[in-house]
Amino acid sequence: MPYSKPYPLLERIDSPADLRQLPESELAPLADELRRFLIASVSKTGGHLAAGLGTVELTLALHYVYNTPDDRLVWDVGHQSYPHKILTGRRERMASLRQRHGLAGFPKRDESPYDSFGVGHSSTSISAATGMAIAAAHSGSDRRVVAIIGDGAMTAGQAFEALNHAGDLGANLLVILNDNDMSISPNVGALSNYFARLLSGRMYSSMREGGKKVLRNLPPVAELARRAEEHMKGMVVPGTLFEEMGFNYIGPVDGHDVTGLVKTLHNVRALKGPQLLHIVTRKGKGYSPAEDNPCAYHGVGKFDPHTGTDAGGGKPGAPTYTQVFGDWLCDMAAADPELVAITPAMREGSGLVEFSERFPQRYFDVGIAEQHAVTLAGGMACDGLHPVVAIYSTFLQRAYDQTIHDIALQNLPVTFAIDRAGLVGPDGPTHAGAFDLSYLRCIPNLVVMTPADEAECRRMLSTAHRHAGPAAVRYPRGRGPGLAVEPDLDTLPIGRAESRREGGRIALLAFGSLLAPALEVAEQLDATVINMRFVKPLDEALLREVASRHERLVTLEENAVAGGAGAAVLECLQANGVQRPLLQLGLPDRFVEHGTREELLAECGLDAAGILEAINRWQADENCAGRADRLVC
């Protein structure tokens, strides 16, 4: 298949209005072109591929039938929205996808009027769409609202909170359940089994008939009679899960039959009240490497579209922090039979593949359910297990109350292995782990650690695991400085920082990933460098001692300055009556957009050059005046 021009039909589509000019007979060939374009484009930029391949026909049908952008399409997660971007005037800009100043990898309201809701985290679509449906009703508008949610995203509590509300409200809303039987890895849970039953043999065909029935725009009496009949069939007709929540269940239908979808959507668009259309798709559809391995093609780097092989020349070298964690987990599990590991649907990303294979009885993928993951760990810890919650910093935000109320308040020994802390790069602000130090350090009982290298990461994980209360280790996306990791399971003394360089008038207090540039900068400034290691508890004694020997202090962290580790140092000095000029370097008080991690760190002044410049500027300023978000005197 040629993954390049010509795209004779696609090149005529600069907006959905152009699409709507086409006869229905041209939609299937257009789907082929769109799919080819998508593969060619992502092969050059990297990004989320398999999910988008599965939504090509759906996206065409939606823009064909609905009056977008006035009608609202709300994509869940948004990783499947590339076909939508291509059809809504952004085809040429796909070459800039996820690059600095380029197109975002997710729908973004300020990028296009067709992106009706900003997204990146999952399971928000039904809530947002319900809100829009309420707003439409409020203004007397006839606008239609459609939420498109995957079977993986449907496992999260928020999706059910929204169904529960929208169904009761009778909101004018269509929810499309895009069921491909996959999350990033194979989907899990009773709901996933339920969807599988819905699709199985006899049920599928009987539901197809049922779907046709629903497509008739029934008068209220007939509708009531139909519901009563369905209710009586409730023990055997699985569609009633949604029916009982107040939704009209339609389907399952083939999500790759574009003309069939157009017909169905035309009918559904005419219906009022909460509708749920269940479509069946294949993740990676139409590209055999992705169909064969949808997990690997969920998110990809650059690749050769003809062979599907890595075109970026996967850089060998030091392990990533994720791998350091995965190795530690297996080693600690071998030593501790009570260790259990929990992931909210991020087995691959969190480094749990080997653990899941070696210790299947102690491995728990709970689906996209961060809140449940954390409270589950609490319950396990109550009764003698030693849980490790492997979670991305940005997704732990979802489980904040659980972290406080279910873990810390009860001082339960749960280890939080927090990956993707700090800037993550191409996924942008939705996925940046910019806030965990701020939101964790204020929680009593919680130990918070920031490893500066791979070896320290392993030690800190062991420290957390052996600690009698809750403890978190937060580490960045990708590789560290490349330190050799010893196979031991040794621990570190809690709350003890270490001096890494003795210098003159200025001391750099570095947290985690910023130790490396701090050491570089220190050579030029002849500065003392402290590897702070612990954000909580801080090494107060060392801080007092360092402050007494230096004229100026600088804190460095890959976290928001607001409320972060530097703020903890400031509070500590103040509480001890120590007054020293203090420069706080960290992430600014704005959302940092997408780009490579290196570009973004430089943009925020957190590479060695930026740090040096900020310190020199600060030192040159007699009054210690400067940017309020970075400087405290």
Q: Is 279 in the site for ligand TPP (CB under 6 A)?
A: no
Structure tokens that stand for 89 in this block: 């005037």
| Annotation marks residue 358 as catalytic | no
Q: Which of 35, 372, 398, 594 is close enough to bind ligand TPP by CB under 6 A?
A: 398
Give the Cβ contact number of residue 263 at 10 Å: 15
Residue 463 in contact with ligand TPP, rule: CB under 6 A: no
Give the footprint of ligand DXP on residues 46-65 (CB under 6 A): 48
Residue 281: CB minimum distance to Mg ion, A: 8
CB distance 147 to 175 below 8 Å: yes
Partner from ligand DXP, Mg ion, ligand TPP, none contacting 398, C-beta within 5 to 8 A by type: ligand TPP
- d(Cα 513, Cα 600) in Å, to the nearest integer? 14
- Would you say 152 or 387 has its CB closer to ligand TPP? 152
Nearest distance from residue 22's CB to ligand TPP, in Å?
Answer: 26
180 is annotated as contributing to ligand binding: yes
**Is-catalytic flag, 244?**
no
* Closest to 564 measured CA to CA, from 540, 584, 546, 583: 584
In the list Mg ion, ligand TPP, ligand DXP, none, the entry touching 87 (Cβ below 5 to 8 angstroms by class) is none
Give the type of residue at 578.
Answer: V
361, 314 in Cβ contact below 8 A? no
Residue 80 binding: pick among ligand TPP, Mg ion, ligand DXP, none (C-beta 5-8 Å cut-off by kind): ligand TPP
Q: What are the backbone dihedrals phi and psi of residue 431, each rounded to the nearest 5 degrees, phi first?
A: -110, -5
Q: Where are the alpha helices (DSSP H) in 170-299?
A: 190-199, 201-215, 220-232, 240-244, 258-269, 288-292
Stretch that binds ligand DXP, among 107-115, 313-321, 353-361, 423-431 (CB under 6 A): 423-431
Q: Find where tokens 């409020």 sit.
A: 138
The residue within the footprint of ligand TPP, chosen from 68, 116, 125, 183 (CB under 6 A), is 183
Q: Which parts of 537-621 are beta strand (E)?
A: 552-560, 582-587
Q: Residue 367, exposed/middle/buried by CB under 10 A (0-12, 13-18, 19+)?
A: buried
Q: Does 150 bind ligand TPP (CB under 6 A)?
A: yes
314 is in an annotated binding site: no
Contact with ligand DXP (CB under 6 A): which of 108, 165, 420, 441? 420
* Number of amino acids touching Mg ion (CB under 5 A): 5
**285 flagged as catalytic:** no
Give min distance, CB of 297 to ligand TPP, in A.
Answer: 10
Specify the residue, 150 or 566, whose C-beta has the smaller distance to ligand TPP. 150
The two structure tokens encoding residue 39: 């593969």
Spatial contact of 522 and 476, defined as CB atoms under 8 Å apart: no
Interhelix angle for 201-215 vs 220-232, to 10°?
A: 160
Selecting among 33, 57, 370, 456, the annotated active-site residue is: 370
**227: CB partners within 8 A, 6+ apart:** 243
**Ramachandran assignment for 548, one of left (phi > 0), alpha (psi -120 to 50 degrees), beta (any other):** alpha
Cα-Cα end-to-end distance for the chain? 63
Match 């978000």 to its residue by tokens.
629
List 56, 175, 177, 182, residue binding ligand TPP (CB under 6 A): 182
Query: Is 67 one of the annotated binding-site residues?
Result: no
Tokens of 67: 């009056």
- Nearest distance from C-beta of residue 184 to ligand DXP, angstroms: 6
Residue 399 contacts ligand TPP per CB under 6 A: no
Report the residue from 39, 51, 457, 560 that binds ligand TPP according to the rule CB under 6 A: 51
Residue 479 has phi, psi (to 5 degrees) of: -95, 155
Residue 432 sits in the site that holds ligand TPP (CB under 6 A): no
From 33, 57, 151, 454, residue interacting with Mg ion (rule: CB under 5 A): 151
Query: Residue 152 CB, nearest distance to ligand TPP (Å)?
Result: 2
User: Which residue, 93 or 197, is less far from Mg ion as judged by CB?
Assistant: 197
DSSP for 358-381 reads H-GGGEEE--S-HHHHHHHHHHHH
Nearest to 400 by CA among 382, 433, 374, 432: 374
C-alpha to C-alpha distance for 530 and 523, rounded to whole angstroms: 14
Q: Is residue 178 marked as binding?
A: no
**Is 77 a residue that touches ligand DXP (CB under 6 A)?**
yes
Spell out, one character per residue from 336 to 375, where the chain touches ligand DXP: x when CB under 6 A holds, - when not: -------------x--------------------------
Q: How far is the CB of 228 from ligand TPP (least distance, A)?
A: 33
- Which of residues 14 and 181 has its CB atom nearest to ligand TPP in the complex? 181
Helix (H) or strand (E) holding 529: strand 528-531
- Asked if 79 touches ligand TPP (CB under 6 A), the answer is yes
Sheet of 534-536: strand order equals 363-365, 339-343, 386-392, 415-419, 471-474, 447-449, 534-536
Instruction: Cite the annotated binding site by residue number.
Output: 79, 120-122, 151-153, 180, 287, 370
Chain residues in the site for ligand DXP (CB under 6 A): 48, 77, 79, 184, 298-299, 349, 420, 424, 427, 431, 477
Catalytic residue numbers, as ranges: 283, 370, 398
Chain residues in the site for ligand TPP (CB under 6 A): 51, 54, 77, 79-80, 121-122, 150-153, 180, 182-184, 283, 345, 368, 395, 398
Chain residues in the site for Mg ion (CB under 5 A): 150-152, 180, 182
